[in-house]
């Protein structure tokens, strides 16, 4: 998904996304869900939100597999510039 910075309204936008993501590090057993809010602040874009995914982990002691839910939340500022600057990937 690409977001054109100049098209973010003054009140900001909220995104609810869901995507299947593969990982070589951990077994992700559900789509990764994200809830994000993007707001332009002067020449930057503030991104705040959370990612959630169900994963299957393995105990390093007994080697049994067990389910868990991974939650990552936070925010960051992304420098912007004039024009049609885009955030994200295709």
Q: What is the pTM of this model?
A: 0.68
* The pLDDT value given to residue 51: 93
Length of the chain: 90
**pLDDT bucket at 80, cuts 50 / 70 / 90:** low
CA distance 71 to 78: 22
Count of CB atoms situated within 10 Å of the CB of 38: 19
Average pLDDT for the chain: 86
């510039």: which residue's tokens?
A: 81
Count of CB atoms situated within 10 Å of the CB of 54: 15
Q: What kind and span of H or E run contains 48? A: strand 44-58
Asked whether residue 35 carries a pLDDT value surpassing 70, the answer given is: yes
Host domain of residue 25: 2-82
Helix runs in the chain, H state only: none
Q: Considering the domain boundaries, does residue 45 fall inside one?
A: yes
Question: Tens digits of per-residue pLDDT, 14-32?
Answer: 999 999 999 888 899 999 9
Count of CB atoms situated within 10 Å of the CB of 5: 19
Q: Considering the domain boundaries, does residue 54 fall inside one?
A: yes
Number of domains the chain is built from? 1
For range 42-48, the mean pLDDT: 86
Q: Considering the domain boundaries, does residue 90 fall inside one?
A: no
* The pLDDT value given to residue 85: 54
Q: Considering the domain boundaries, does residue 89 fall inside one?
A: no
Q: Considering the domain boundaries, does residue 60 fall inside one?
A: yes
Q: Considering the domain boundaries, does residue 77 fall inside one?
A: yes
For range 26-47, the mean pLDDT: 91
């Amino acid at each position: 998904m690409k977001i054109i910075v100049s098209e973010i309204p003054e009140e900001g936008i909220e995104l609810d996304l869901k995507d299947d993501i593969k990982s070589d590090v951990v077994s992700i057993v559900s789509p990764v869900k994200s809830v994000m809010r993007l707001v332009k602040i002067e020449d930057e874009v503030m991104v705040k939100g959370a990612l959630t995914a169900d994963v299957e982990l393995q105990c390093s002691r007994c080697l049994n597999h067990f389910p868990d839910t991974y939650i990552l939340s936070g925010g960051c500022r992304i420098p912007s510039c004039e024009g049609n600057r885009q955030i994200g990937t295709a």
